[in-house]
């Protein structure tokens, strides 16, 4: 402003100087002491030149300088107004990628895991393995000592011998009975012939016929006795076989190859057949984990799909697996799909029972919008965001949220891609307020 004022003063001085020169020129023309011009044309040209210069200076004064002054004032006012607007950091509403990373929690489990129970009653004579030991199928892991089992086997063997003797005796009685029955038959036939000739009485014949029938009944009874004795032999032999099998169960073997994950007994401990847990064995060469996939992503999970596991206790390391099977039905209580992911574990870096985070790359037909988490405003009437529209005018808009990723939020409705959202809007940012948006990087 000071420079403009100085320029105006200089121009005014120049105009005054031109006026003075013009006045002197007129005075010379009217009879001054200076010599007159050589002709009237020269005097006229000087006057016209001075008038033209005066008009140019006056136009500059009255036209250009006021307009320049107004432009400078408007620019200063605009700068002052821009400096008075609050500056707000904004972020753009973006569309998520066609493939989303679905991260779900899970527990690592062994595909094959089973308990080793005592199948014979007695005392642990010796234990050969402990937790963490790797065993092969059929490997001896413990021995059980049962002294009374030997006595039971001896008693059962004696019972078998006695039953066999009973069979032999009954068989001999059967043979004797058959011989007696055959003799009674011959005698009965002879007396029947004599009766037909009238040599003997009918009463004597009836007596011998009755004896024959009695011998036949005796043979049938002996045959049943032999069958019963043989059944008894089979029963006592089965009992003996059971005891002998129990004798083999005194040597405890691993049912399959794996690692001992639990030891429940030690030497000298009394164990009971069928109820005492000795060990627990798990196969760790290939593990699995179960996931509960939400209904919104259930249709996108397929058998054979790749999955990546991360373990909190092993930062920087990832394990790759595949979806082995799904339940093909949602749990009505949780509206989730049960999915099994199997992971090879040749180096035994994974352990059953570990907590894992499983990352599934799930394709999406219609990817939703995503916004930064620090743009969300939660009010009594629901979640909202501050949209900075044209001219920097703020408008609070209600939205419907989808999944929460912590630093990012899915938006199902209420926004359009490319809109500007205020980041961490303060209480000064109200509906309709004008702000100066600054796009955050």
Q: Which segments of 267-405 are extended strands (E)?
A: 270-271, 277-282, 286-294, 306-310, 318-331, 336-344, 355-363, 369-372, 376-379, 382-388, 394-398, 400-404
- 254 pLDDT above the threshold of 70: yes
Rounded to whole angstroms, the Cα distance separating 89 from 421 reads 8
- 99 pLDDT above the threshold of 90: no
- Number of Cβ within a 10 Å radius of residue 6: 10
Query: What pLDDT is recorded for position 405?
Result: 80
- The per-residue pLDDT for range 322-352, each reduced to its tens digit, is 999 999 999 999 999 999 999 999 988 999 9
HSE (CB half, 13 Å, CA atoms) of 175?
5
Beta partners for 393? 434
- The per-residue pLDDT for range 108-139, each reduced to its tens digit, is 999 999 999 998 889 999 999 999 999 999 99
| Residues 255-264: b if buried by 16+ CB within 10 A, e if exposed | eeebbbbebe
- 264 pLDDT above the threshold of 90: yes
- The per-residue pLDDT for range 379-406, each reduced to its tens digit, is 888 999 999 999 899 999 999 998 888 8
Rounded to whole angstroms, the Cα distance separating 364 from 35 reads 102
- The per-residue pLDDT for range 277-288, each reduced to its tens digit, is 999 999 999 999
Alpha helices in 60-130 (DSSP H): 65-84
Highest-scoring range by mean pLDDT, 307-311, 367-371, 406-410 = 307-311
Query: What pLDDT is recorded for position 344?
Result: 95
Tell how strand 436-439 and strand 87-92 pair up.
Answer: parallel
> Contact 422/394 with Cβ under 8 angstroms?
yes
Instruction: Look up tokens 């009954």; give the residue.
Output: 170
> Contact 350/313 with Cβ under 8 angstroms?
no
| C-alpha gyration radius of the chain | 57
Query: What pLDDT is recorded for position 398?
Result: 92
- In this prediction, residues 351-361 reach a mean pLDDT of 92
Model confidence at 196, in pLDDT bands (50, 70, 90)? confident
- 42 pLDDT above the threshold of 90: no
Model confidence at 19, in pLDDT bands (50, 70, 90)? low
Q: Which positions ≥6 away from 86 have C-beta within 8 Å? A: 428, 429, 433, 435, 436
Query: What pLDDT is recorded for position 33?
Result: 47
Model confidence at 149, in pLDDT bands (50, 70, 90)? confident
Q: What is the DSSP string of 116-159?
A: EE-SS-EEEEEE---TT-EE-TT-EEEEEE-HHHHHHHHHHHHH
Residue 157: Cβ-neighbour burial (10 angstroms; 0-12, 13-18, 19+): middle
Query: What pLDDT is recorded for position 324?
Result: 95
- The per-residue pLDDT for range 399-410, each reduced to its tens digit, is 999 888 888 898
């Amino acid at each position: 402003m000071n420079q403009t004022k100085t320029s105006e003063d200089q121009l005014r001085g120049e105009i005054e100087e031109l006026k003075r020169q013009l006045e002197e020129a007129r005075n010379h023309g009217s009879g001054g002491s200076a010599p007159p011009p050589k002709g009237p044309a020269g005097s006229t040209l000087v006057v016209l030149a001075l008038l033209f210069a005066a008009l140019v200076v006056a136009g500059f004064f009255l036209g250009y300088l006021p307009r320049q002054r107004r432009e400078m004032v408007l620019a200063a006012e605009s700068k002052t107004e821009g400096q008075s607007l609050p500056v707000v950091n904004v972020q753009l509403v973006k569309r998520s990628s066609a493939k989303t990373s679905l991260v779900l929690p899970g527990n690592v489990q062994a595909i094959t895991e089973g308990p080793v129970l005592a199948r014979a009653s007695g005392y642990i004579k010796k234990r050969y393995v402990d937790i963490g030991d790797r065993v092969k199928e059929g490997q001896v892991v413990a021995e059980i000592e049962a002294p009374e089992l030997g006595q039971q086997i001896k008693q059962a063997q004696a019972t078998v011998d006695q039953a066999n003797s009973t069979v032999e005796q009954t068989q001999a009685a059967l043979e004797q009975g058959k011989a007696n029955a055959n003799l009674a038959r011959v005698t009965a036939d002879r007396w029947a012939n004599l009766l037909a000739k009238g040599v003997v009485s009918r009463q004597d014949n009836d007596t011998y016929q009755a004896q024959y029938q009695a011998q036949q009944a005796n043979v049938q009874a002996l045959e049943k006795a032999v069958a019963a004795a043989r059944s008894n032999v089979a029963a006592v032999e089965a009992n003996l076989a059971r005891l002998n099998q129990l004798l083999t169960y005194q040597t405890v073997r691993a049912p399959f190859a794996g690692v001992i994950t639990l030891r429940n007994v030690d030497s000298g401990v009394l164990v009971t057949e069928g109820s005492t847990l000795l060990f627990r064995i798990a196969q760790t060469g290939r593990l699995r984990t179960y996931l509960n996939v939400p209904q919104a992503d259930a249709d996108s999970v397929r058998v054979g799909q790749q999955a990546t596991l991360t373990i909190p206790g092993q930062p920087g390391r990832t394990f790759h697996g595949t979806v082995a099977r799904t339940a093909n039905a949602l749990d009505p209580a949780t509206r989730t799909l049960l999915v099994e992911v199997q992971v090879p574990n040749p180096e035994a870096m994974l352990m059953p029972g570990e907590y894992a985070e499983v990352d599934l790359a799930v394709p999406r037909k219609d990817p939703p919008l995503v916004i930064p988490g620090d743009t969300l405003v939660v009010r009594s009437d629901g979640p909202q965001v501050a949209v900075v529209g044209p001219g920097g005018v703020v408008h609070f808009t209600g939205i419907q949220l989808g999944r929460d990723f912590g630093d990012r939020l899915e938006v199902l409705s209420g926004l359009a891609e490319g809109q500007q959202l205020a980041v961490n809007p303060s209480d000064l940012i109200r509906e309709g307020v004008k702000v100066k948006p600054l796009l955050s990087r």
